[in-house]
Chains A and B, each alone.
Chain A
């Protein structure tokens, strides 16, 4: 079998992604299940690139005409999943960020009988370097 240019490009991209994932230190701390899942995903991707017809066979088993159609459906599902998990993750992040900002805010209240600290453009009181 002679590899076409697009197959070579796809394989290179897949290998680069796998390399990045497995060498990235922050990501490497992800759960073992995620890592295994990713390795399976890479294997499946390489297989699909090398033997696209197998994908069509798989598609036919579950009532889809072409392998590319199956790929598209799976991609849409994966995209929705990613969107949801990103949204939830952002909300969690936002909550942590709010708690941090709240802790900062509660450390320096301005009581009615105190003099007002200088205000910068953003409306937050400037820290007086002499006071800290």
Chain B
């Protein structure tokens, strides 16, 4: 493995992981060529995810029980923000659908522009010929955005993109209370409430057969909407 570059020693990748034993080691090894600091939160997986994470060379935090992706991200952020020298934080999916080159661009933007958080978007540029977002998913994601006034106001086009980069201020204030898949909407409302300076960065998502089979089901959109209403009164 190549020696990690010096540039990203202040950056921590947070990878929540549940039953990703088949791919997680590759994902971590690949990311570690650029980002030396990775914390993977094994969310009580019954498979060999924990051993794979360790073999991949990431810091491993084990949830004693399964809590959900949102809880995993929160745990990872809390771990990473305790680490000396941590200035930038990135949430990254375990299934390999996010790309390191996108993260590099996002962290560079955080360094140079007056921004607190950058959210990846699948819809940032004119639709490319090799666009891999399936049309039904595109429709659902756009509907979710339309139904959320906050998302529209902030000018976000893809609030449910799991790839986000943010700075120390955001990491310190991050407090995800929705354990399951609704954390994306929760982060959007945090951005709004805490007044974090937000921007989007177009990213490419690799829809492999594997990630498609694991991805959020479309029905889950209903759960996300219900949780969004609930989170206002929790």
Q: How far is the CA of A122 from the CA of B62 in the complex (A)?
A: 11
B-side contacts of A91, CB under 8 Å: 230, 234
Q: Are A105 and B59 in contact (CB under 8 A)?
A: no
Top 4 A-B pairs ranked by shortest CB distance?
A: A110-B60, A98-B71, A116-B54, A102-B75
Q: Given contacts A105-B63, A119-B50, A121-B46, are A112 and B230 in contact (CB under 8 A)? A: no
Q: Which residue of B lies closest to A115 (CB)?
A: B54
Q: Is B96 an interface residue (CB 8 A)?
A: no
Q: Is B42 an interface residue (CB 8 A)?
A: yes
Q: Is B47 an interface residue (CB 8 A)?
A: yes
Interface bits B65-91 vs A (CB < 8 Å: 1, else 0):
101100100110011000000000000
Q: How far is the CA of A95 from the CA of B39 in the complex (A)?
A: 22
Task: Enumerate A48-101 residues with CB–CB distance to B below 8 Å.
Answer: 87-88, 91-92, 94-95, 97-98, 101
Q: Given contacts A88-B230, A95-B234, A110-B54, are A102 and B74 in contact (CB under 8 A)? A: yes
**Which A residues are closer than 8 A to B by beta carbons?**
87-88, 91-92, 94-95, 97-98, 101-102, 104-106, 108-112, 116, 119, 121-125
Q: Are B45 and A109 in contact (CB under 8 A)?
A: no
Q: Which residue of A lies closest to B45 (CB)?
A: A123
**Which B residues are closer than 8 A to A by beta carbons?**
39, 41-42, 44-51, 54, 57-65, 67-68, 71, 74-75, 78-79, 177, 179, 230, 233-234
Q: Are B54 and A101 in contact (CB under 8 A)?
A: no
Q: How far is the CB of A96 from chain B (nearest CB, A)?
A: 10
B-side contacts of A125, CB under 8 Å: 50, 62
A-side contacts of B62, CB under 8 Å: 105, 108, 110, 123-125
A-side contacts of B58, CB under 8 Å: 112
Q: How far is the CB of B220 from chain A (nearest CB, A)?
A: 17
Q: Given contacts A101-B67, A110-B54, are A122 and B41 in contact (CB under 8 A)? A: no
When the two chains form the complex, which single residue of B42, B78, B177, B233 contacts A123, counting CB atoms closer than 8 Å? B42
Q: How far is the CA of A87 from the CA of B230 in the complex (A)?
A: 10
**27 pairs, A vs B, C-beta closer than 8 Å:** A88-B233, A88-B234, A91-B234, A95-B179, A95-B234, A98-B67, A98-B71, A101-B67, A102-B63, A102-B74, A105-B62, A106-B75, A108-B62, A109-B60, A110-B59, A110-B60, A111-B59, A112-B54, A112-B58, A116-B51, A119-B50, A121-B46, A123-B45, A123-B46, A123-B47, A124-B62, A125-B62
Q: How far is the CA of A92 from the CA of B231 in the complex (A)?
A: 10
Q: Are B50 and A101 in contact (CB under 8 A)?
A: no
